[in-house]
Amino acid sequence: MSQPPVSAQSIPAPMGKTIYPEPFAARVKGRSKRKLGDVFGLTNFGVNLTHLQPGSVSALAHSHSKQDEFIYVLEGTPTLVLGDAEFTLNPGDCCGFKAGTGIAHQLINRSEEAVTYLEIGDRTVGDEVEYPNDDLKATFSPQSWILTHKDGRPYNESIETQG
């Protein structure tokens, strides 16, 4: 049986929860995610309703080797950092990030108002995430993200999938 519809606002949204180790975790402390797809048992892709408080970022600038991502802005005016370019987004704007391009991306809330957007991404095992500005690398195994320094030294053994 399928899960009946739910109010997205009823799904918990822990503030600042992240797979990032310190010192990187502090950068997303003003971010909260409602994991909409998880409520329905979706396993091939994730859907998050994400909020960024002023001054917060969506993630470290990153690119995926195998995982496509898509964002759709609902409220606010985040700045999209896409490689060396920056774009101010408005409600109704969207952008997709094709896997394997090596072009890093992130959203930054430089405004005085909260930002709300949908983020959608697949969950391809073996995906590797590169962080060009930080000493961090992530690899998606069947049940967890494995975080290492760029030279392969682990930050942690593994961290449960947080999404």
Specify if 6 maps to a domain. no
Answer whether residue 141 is part of any domain: no
5 domain residue, yes or no:
no
Q: What is the pLDDT of residues 121-151, one digit of tens each?
A: 998 889 999 999 999 999 988 778 889 999 9
Residue 1 lies in a domain: no
Expressed as residue numbers, the domain containing 83 is: 20-124
pLDDT digits (tens, 9 = 90+) for 4-55: 999 999 999 988 889 899 889 999 999 999 999 999 999 899 999 999 999 9
What pLDDT, on a 0 to 100 scale, did the predictor assign at position 156?
60
- The CATH number of residue 118's host domain is 2.60.120.10
| Structural domains of the chain, count | 1
DSSP per-residue codes, the chain = -PPPP--GGGS---BT--SPPTTGGGGGTTEEEEEHHHHTT--SEEEEEEEE-TT-BSSSSBEESS--EEEEEEES-PEEEETTEEEE--TT-EEEE-TTS---EEEE--SSS-EEEEEEEE--TT-EEE-TTSS-EEEE-SSEEEEE-TTS-BSSS-EE---
When pLDDT is cut at 50, 70 and 90, the band that residue 163 belongs to is: very low
